[in-house]
Amino acid sequence: MTLRNKLNLDNPVELARAEERLSKQRAIQLWRGDELKNFRAGMFETLAYIHKRLFEDVYYFAGQLRDENISKGHFRFAAALYLAEAVAQVEKMPQKTFEQIVAKYVEMNVAHPFREGNGRSMRLWLDDILKSELARVVDWSRVDKTKYLQAMERSPIDDSEIKRLLVAALTDKINDREIFIKGLDASYFYENYFAYRSEDL
């Protein structure tokens, strides 16, 4: 079933292609304009702004907490009824060290606050926290898709695997356009979006 969208597309393949193109363009604008400097890293308000900017051309729910329950495979994310409370608890988590920041990222993933586009938004959110607190970002082009997805699937029980994977891909090139562009494509590839190269948009 195709999600209701502003483009009035009912073909899932057409919607996926349009979503990828438009949201990647928005992500590049977000990075180029340094818009997140106006927000406090690690807050849900910041994540909601990222999500809104990425998906505002496609979905009516861009930047809004979901009001329905969702799951992936056998895992049910936070119940919509308790979502606002869950997000508020994640906001309060410390974020001074790499370990704390990734733990916070994992818990926000468990909450999965949006109807669609959580992973892509949260990876930008994670990098914003790392940049703010540690002057580092993840070079996502160095993070293997299969290993990442497996580590994230296991992270609610044990987050040591995702921590090892991400710490090995940290870079101090926090304002490097090539790192961002390649990382954006990698982030979208995790979710099976690979019709467009960010460099061409």
pLDDT digits (tens, 9 = 90+) for 99-138: 999 999 999 999 999 999 999 999 999 999 999 999 999 9
Which pLDDT score is estimated for 73?
83
Which pLDDT score is estimated for 115?
96
Residue 149 lies in a domain: yes
Residue 7 lies in a domain: no
* Per-chain mean pLDDT for the chain: 97
The whole-angstrom separation of Cα 52 and Cα 56 is 5
Q: What does the pLDDT look like over 68-111, one tens digit per residue?
A: 999 988 889 999 999 999 999 999 999 999 999 999 999 999 99
Residue 91 lies in a domain: yes
Which structural domain, as residue segments, surrounds residue 124? Answer: 12-66+78-194
Which pLDDT score is estimated for 70?
94
The whole-angstrom separation of Cα 49 and Cα 142 is 26
- Candidates 37, 24, 7, 15; CA nearest to 184 is 24
Q: What does the pLDDT look like over 146-192, one tens digit per residue?
A: 999 999 999 999 999 999 999 999 999 999 999 999 999 999 999 99
Q: Which residues are CB-neighbours of 56 under 8 A, at least 6 positions away?
A: 26, 62, 63
Q: Which residues are CB-neighbours of 7 under 8 A, at least 6 positions away?
A: 15, 18, 57, 58
Structural domain total, the chain: 1
Residue 116 lies in a domain: yes
CATH of the domain at 114: 1.10.3290.10
Residue 105 lies in a domain: yes
- pTM value is 0.97
